[in-house]
Amino acid sequence: MDSYHGYTGIVAEMLREAGVEPGDVVEVVRGDGSRFKGVVMTRYSLSEEPFLILKLDNGYNIGIRIDESTIIRKLGRVERGAPGEPVGLAEEEPQPPEEKVFIIGAGGTIASRVDYETGAVKPYLDAAELARNIPELFNYASIEAKQIFSILSEDMKPWMWERLVEEIARRIEEGYDGIVVTHGTDTMAYTASALAFALRSLPVPVALTGAQRSSDRPSSDAAFNLISAVLAASKAPFAEVVVVMHGETGDSYALAHRGVRVKKLHTSRRDAFQSVNAPPLAKVDPYKGEIVLLDKPLRRRGEEELRVDNGFDDRVVVVKHFPGITAELIDAALDKGVHGIVLEGTGFGHISTDAIKSIERATDMGVPVVVVSQTIFGRVNLNVYSTGRLMLKAGAIPLEDMTLEAAYAKLSWVLKRASDLREVRRLMLTNLAGEISGRHSLRLYTHAQYRGW
C-alpha cells in the first residue's frame, strides 16, 4: 500500500493535502471537538489503523485517531536546535528505532473487552491488534506480535508455562532485542517465576505486563503498562524476567519487578504489584524513555547466551495452615498422589503440632514439603521454636524469604530435574534467579498505617 512517511489511507491523504511533513507543528481538531497540538512524527507502525502520531509539548507521543470529520492544520515547523524546542525532530528522515521487540500474547485483561451480551469482561484482543492500537510502542522498537493463548490468567497451567518458554526461546534465537509477554495479572507472579527458572540464562530482557482494567475502558492502564514493558524489553541493561506494571496510581512511572520477587497485593489498583523482600529491579519512565536501576542486575544484556531448561511438574499443590484440620488436607493431597507440597505456614513457617506427622508421611512417600510464610513479608525460620524444629526433623524444607509464587513455580520445575529428596532440597535452597536474598533493608516492608498518624 502507498505509504507517506509511514502513514497510509486517510491519514496519508490528509497529511498530503495539508502539505504536512514530519517535523511540522500541527493542530488537529476532531469531530468530537477535541484539539491537539504537536509535532508530527514519522510512523513506524506495522498497523494501518488511522492514527496520527504527535509529539506533545511534554515530550510524550500520542496517537490520535483520524476520520473524515478531523481537521489537520499546519502551524509551522520545528527548526533543528531552535531554542526550547526538542532537538532532532525536524530531521527529514528520522531513523526508525533499531531495536526489535516481540510481543507474545497470553490473554488476560490487557487483551480483553467487555462482552456487551453478558456485561462481563472476556479475553478477546489479539496481541498484534493490541499493539496496533498503541502507536507509541513504535517509538521504542519495531514490533512483531503473536497471540498464543486467549485465556484469563486464572486458567494458566504449568503446560502453558512450557509453551511460553518455547515461544520466548524461539524469538530470542531469531534475534529480537527483547520479549514482552502480555498476561493476565492474577497469576502473573507464578508465570514470571516459572519463566525465570526455565530460562536459565538470557541475553535480553523478558518483560511480562498486563492491565487491571480492560483495554476498551477509558481508565485502562493497558497502554501505559505495555509502552513501559516495550521500553524495558528494548532498552533495559538487564537480561532477566521482569514484571513491568504501574509504580503508583497515577501515570507517572512504572516499576520493573524481578519475576521471582513480585506479588499482586491488591485486587484492583493500578499499583497492585510490589516486589516482596527485595527492591524493584528498575524504575521505568515511558515518557522520557528512561530506565533507572534500583537493584543490581543478576545478568546484564548480551552477557550470556540463551540457556533453556524447560519442563514443569503439574502435580504440586499449595496447602495453607489454618487453625483447624490442616493435617487432613495434607493427607488428602497425599492420597491424591501429589508430587510436591508448598506449605504456607504461619509466622516463621509453622503448622500445628498435630499436622507434623503428615509432613513425616509425605517425606516417607518421597513427596517434598517446602515451607513459606503466610505473612507475605519476612523470612521463614524453623529453628526458633520447638514446633519448627519438629517440622525440620519431619523433613520440611524452609525456603528462606521466597514468595509463595516463586516457591510453587520452583518446586514444579525442580521436581522434573531432581531424583531424590536430598537433590530437591539442595536445588530449592540454591539461589537460581534472585528468589532467595540475604539480610533485608528495613525499607522493604511498609506498614500501610504509617501514613497520617
Cβ-proximal residues to 243 (8 Å cutoff; 6+ apart), any chain: 188, 189, 192, 207, 208, 209, 256, 257, 259, 262, 273
Q: Which is nearer to its own copies, 206 or 276 (CB)?
A: 276
Q: Which is nearer to its own copies, 235 or 264 (CB)?
A: 264
In whole angstroms, the minimum distance from the beta carbon of 285 to its own copies comes to 11
In whole angstroms, the minimum distance from the beta carbon of 275 to its own copies comes to 6
Phi, psi angles (nearest 5°) of residue 194: -60, -45
Short-list 203, 116, 188, 202, CA closest to 153: 188
Amino acid letter, residue 182: T
Q: Which is nearer to its own copies, 141 or 194 (CB)?
A: 194
Burial (CB count <10 Å: 0-12, 13-18, 19+), residue 186 = middle
In whole angstroms, the minimum distance from the beta carbon of 366 to its own copies comes to 18
Amino acid letter, residue 439: R
The dihedral over CA atoms of 448, 449, 451, 452, expressed in degrees to the nearest 10, equals: 160
In whole angstroms, the minimum distance from the beta carbon of 50 to its own copies comes to 31
In whole angstroms, the minimum distance from the beta carbon of 348 to its own copies comes to 5
CA end-to-end span of the chain: 63
Three-class DSSP category at 363? helix
In whole angstroms, the minimum distance from the beta carbon of 235 to its own copies comes to 19
Q: Catalytic residue, from 42, 70, 109, 209: name it.
A: 109
Q: Is residue 414 within a helix (H) or strand (E), and if so which, with residue range?
A: helix 404-414
Strand ranges in 272-368 using DSSP code E only, listed in sequence order: 273-275, 282-285, 290-293, 307-308, 316-320, 340-345
Q: Catalytic residue, from 122, 126, 186, 331: name it.
A: 186
In whole angstroms, the minimum distance from the beta carbon of 64 to its own copies comes to 30
Angstrom distance (rounded) from CA 258 to CA 342: 21
Q: Which is nearer to its own copies, 92 or 115 (CB)?
A: 115
Angstrom distance (rounded) from CA 128 to CA 357: 53
Cβ-proximal residues to 422 (8 Å cutoff; 6+ apart), any chain: none
Annotated active-site residue 375? The verdict is no
Angstrom distance (rounded) from CA 14 to CA 65: 13
Q: Catalytic residue, from 70, 185, 191, 387: name it.
A: 185
Phi, psi angles (nearest 5°) of residue 418: -115, 140
Q: Catalytic residue, from 55, 235, 263, 264: name it.
A: 264
Q: Which is nearer to its own copies, 220 or 387 (CB)?
A: 387
Q: Which is nearer to its own copies, 430 or 446 (CB)?
A: 446
Determine the Cα angle at 88 with ends 229 and 141, to 5°.
25
Q: Which is nearer to its own copies, 48 or 331 (CB)?
A: 331
Cβ-proximal residues to 366 (8 Å cutoff; 6+ apart), any chain: 420, 421
Annotated active-site residue 185? The verdict is yes
In whole angstroms, the minimum distance from the beta carbon of 183 to its own copies comes to 12
Annotated active-site residue 264? The verdict is yes
Short-list 293, 202, 283, CA closest to 239: 202
> Cα separations (Å) of 393 from 108, 388, 396?
43, 9, 7
Phi, psi angles (nearest 5°) of residue 44: -115, 10
Q: Which is nearer to its own copies, 11 or 111 (CB)?
A: 111
Residues annotated as catalytic are 109, 185-186, 264
